[in-house]
């Protein structure tokens, strides 16, 4: 495959655009300059590090190493789910919710795709397993984060309404059911938008990468369709699990609203 190599100078040109955005954020007093620069630095360091790790892994891969890397990816994603929540759960609960939701959706569907759809031998070949799991976790993480954030903020803002409904005899499930549905819908909007414009407004990342690497467009399209279906299912199932677990956590065993379990970021 004929791949055009990028120099570090090329990357610096792109980095200058991000620095310009950070400067503009400071001028407009948006309060995002530090976050933009930190995120950019993390992106650079993390991708360079994973590049070195994958180079070694591709040369000496075993199922044990794949399991370790997969676990690390899951734990980091579970932490990031709650890192930027406006109101998140105290203690281990928030982290655990993200971990359970992503394990039951992203991990399960990635394993299904590797064993049933792609069927590469061995199925844990890092060339397929690592990118697939990474895309699944990244998109599921976004859906879960948006959904849970919407639920906890709505519950905080409408706490008087929820408590009134409880006082009138409604169950905890009924009193928050509408908020739960809205939260799940919010978590699904980004992936539905991505699917709706794929091929018309945007060329998705995996398809673009394969085409740039010299793969036939029709083969790249088939892989991208597979990925989009997996991402949609993973985001949907993950958001459903996370929002329902979070809704349950907002009440105690006596069906009282417990917003003291939330803390403001």
Over range 77-87, report the average pLDDT. Answer: 81
Higher pLDDT, 22 or 217: 22
Phi, psi torsion values for 257, nearest 5 degrees: -70, 130
- What pLDDT score does 100 carry? 92
More confident residue, 108 or 197: 108
Does 2 score more than 60 pLDDT?
A: no
Query: Does residue 85 contact residue 94 with C-beta atoms inside 8 Å?
Result: yes
Q: Which of 139-143, 180-184, 259-263 has the lowest mean pLDDT?
A: 259-263
What pLDDT, on a 0 to 100 scale, did the predictor assign at position 69? 86
- Mean pLDDT score of the chain, rounded to an integer? 86
At residue 212, the pLDDT reads 65
- Per-residue pLDDT at 16 exceeds 90: yes
Residues 228, 55 contacting (CB under 8 angstroms): no
Please check the confidence at residue 132 and state whether its pLDDT lies above 60: yes
Q: What is the mean pLDDT of residues 97-113?
A: 90
Structure tokens, 27: 């001028």
Q: What is the mean pLDDT of residues 239-264?
A: 89
pLDDT at residue 202, rounded to an integer = 65
For 31-35, 52-56, 254-258, which range has the lowest pLDDT when averaged over its residues? 52-56
Question: Has residue 244 got a pLDDT over 90?
Answer: yes
More confident residue, 20 or 199: 20
Phi and psi for 263 in degrees, rounded to 5? Answer: -130, 145
pTM of the model: 0.79
For the stretch 185-239, pLDDT in tens is 999 998 898 888 877 666 666 666 776 666 777 887 888 888 889 989 999 999 9
DSSP states along 173-237: HHHHHHHHHHHHHHHHHHHHHHHHHBTTTB--HHHHHHHHTT--HHHHHHHHHHHHHHHHHHHHH
């Amino acid at each position: 495959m004929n791949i055009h190599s990028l120099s570090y100078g090329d990357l610096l040109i792109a980095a200058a655009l991000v620095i310009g955005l950070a400067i503009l954020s400071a001028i407009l007093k948006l309060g995002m300059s530090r976050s933009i620069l930190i995120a950019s630095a993390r992106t650079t360091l993390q991708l360079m590090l994973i590049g070195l790790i994958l180079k070694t892994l591709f040369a000496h891969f075993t199922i044990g190493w794949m399991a370790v890397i997969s676990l690390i990816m899951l734990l980091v994603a579970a932490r990031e789910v709650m890192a930027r929540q406006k109101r998140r759960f105290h203690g281990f609960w928030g982290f655990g919710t993200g971990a359970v939701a992503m394990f039951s959706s992203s991990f399960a569907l990635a394993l299904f795709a590797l064993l049933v759809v792609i069927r590469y031998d061995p199925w844990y070949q890092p060339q397929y397993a690592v990118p697939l799991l990474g895309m699944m976790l990244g998109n599921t993480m976004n859906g879960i984060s948006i959904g849970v954030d919407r639920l906890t903020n709505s519950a905080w803002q409408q706490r008087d309404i929820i408590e009134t409904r409880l006082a009138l005899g409604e169950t905890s499930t009924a009193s928050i059911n509408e908020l739960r549905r809205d939260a799940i819908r919010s978590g699904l909007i980004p992936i539905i938008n991505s699917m709706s414009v794929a091929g018309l407004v945007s060329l998705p990342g995996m398809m673009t990468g394969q085409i740039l690497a010299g793969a036939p467009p029709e083969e790249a399209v088939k892989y991208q369709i597979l990925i989009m279906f997996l991402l949609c299912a993973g985001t949907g199932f993950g958001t459903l699990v996370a929002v329902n677990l979070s809704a349950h956590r907002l009440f105690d065993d006596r069906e009282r609203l417990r917003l003291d379990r939330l803390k403001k970021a």
